[in-house]
C-alpha cells in the first residue's frame, strides 16, 4: 500500500497514482471536477467577480453551495479572494495563476461537451426508448 508521501509532487510523476485509493490526489480530483467547481472556473475566466455576480453567472447554484465551492477552491489555491474595505463590504474572486492554468485544461472538456451535446442527448433518447 502506498503512503501519502508516495504521491507527493517531489517524487517523479508516474501514471496510475490517481487510481490508488490512498493518494491525496483523489480529494483534489473530487473537488476540482465537481460540477460547481468547473462552472466557477469557466465563469471567472479572465474576470474578477463579486459573489453575487458569480452566482448570477452560474445559473442554479445556491448561495450555500457557491460559498462552499469557493472555500474549497481558495483552500486548494485555484481562486483568490479579495475582501474590500468598503461599506457595505464587498468580496471579489478571481482565478489564481494555478486556477488559470487548470482552467485551460477544463476548457477543452467543456467545449467538447457543448460541441457533442446533441449526440449525447440523441443517444440517451434512443437508449431510453
Output the average pLDDT for the chain. 88
Same domain, 96 and 121: yes
> How many helices (H) does the chain have, and how many strands (E)?
5, 3
> 118 and 77 share a domain?
yes
Query: 59 and 116 share a domain?
Result: yes
In this structure, are 59 and 118 located in the same domain?
Answer: yes
Instruction: Provide the domain count of the chain.
Output: 2
Same domain, 20 and 47: no
Q: Tell me: the pLDDT tens digits for 51-108?
A: 999 999 999 999 999 999 999 999 999 999 999 989 888 899 999 999 999 999 988 9
Say yes or no to pLDDT of 39 above 50. Answer: yes
Residues 71 and 112 in one domain: yes
Look at residue 37 and tell me whether its pLDDT is greater than 60: yes
- Residue 57 sits in a domain whose CATH number is 1.10.10.10
The SS3 call for residue 22 is: coil
The answer to whether the beta carbons of residues 79 and 95 sit under 8 Å apart is: yes
Q: Dig out the grid coordinates for 80 from the structure.
A: 483568490
Rounded percentage of the chain residues whose pLDDT exceeds 70: 87
> Which residues constitute the domain of residue 2?
1-32
Looking at the structure, tell me whether residues 28 and 48 fall in a common domain: no
* 110 and 54 both lie in a single domain: yes
Mean pLDDT of 43-53: 94
Q: How far apart are the first and last CA of the chain?
A: 45
Tell me the C-alpha distance between 91 and 129, whole Å: 48
Same domain, 2 and 50: no
The answer to whether residues 45 and 25 belong to one domain is: no
CA torsion, ordered 68, 72, 77, 79, to nearest 10 deg = -20
Amino acid at each position: 500500500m502506498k503512503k501519502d508521501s508516495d504521491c507527493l509532487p517531489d517524487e517523479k510523476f508516474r501514471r496510475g497514482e490517481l487510481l490508488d485509493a490512498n493518494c491525496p490526489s483523489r480529494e483534489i480530483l473530487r473537488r476540482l471536477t465537481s460540477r460547481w467547481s468547473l462552472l466557477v472556473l469557466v465563469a471567472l475566466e479572465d474576470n474578477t467577480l463579486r459573489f453575487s455576480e458569480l452566482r448570477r453567472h452560474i445559473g442554479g447554484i445556491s448561495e450555500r453551495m457557491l460559498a462552499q465551492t469557493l472555500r474549497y477552491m481558495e483552500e486548494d489555491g485555484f481562486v483568490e479572494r479579495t475582501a474590500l474595505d468598503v461599506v457595505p463590504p464587498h468580496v471579489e474572486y478571481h482565478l489564481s495563476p494555478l486556477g488559470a492554468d487548470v482552467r485551460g485544461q477544463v476548457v477543452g472538456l467543456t467545449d467538447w461537451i457543448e460541441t457533442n451535446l446533441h449526440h449525447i442527448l440523441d443517444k440517451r433518447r434512443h437508449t431510453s426508448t
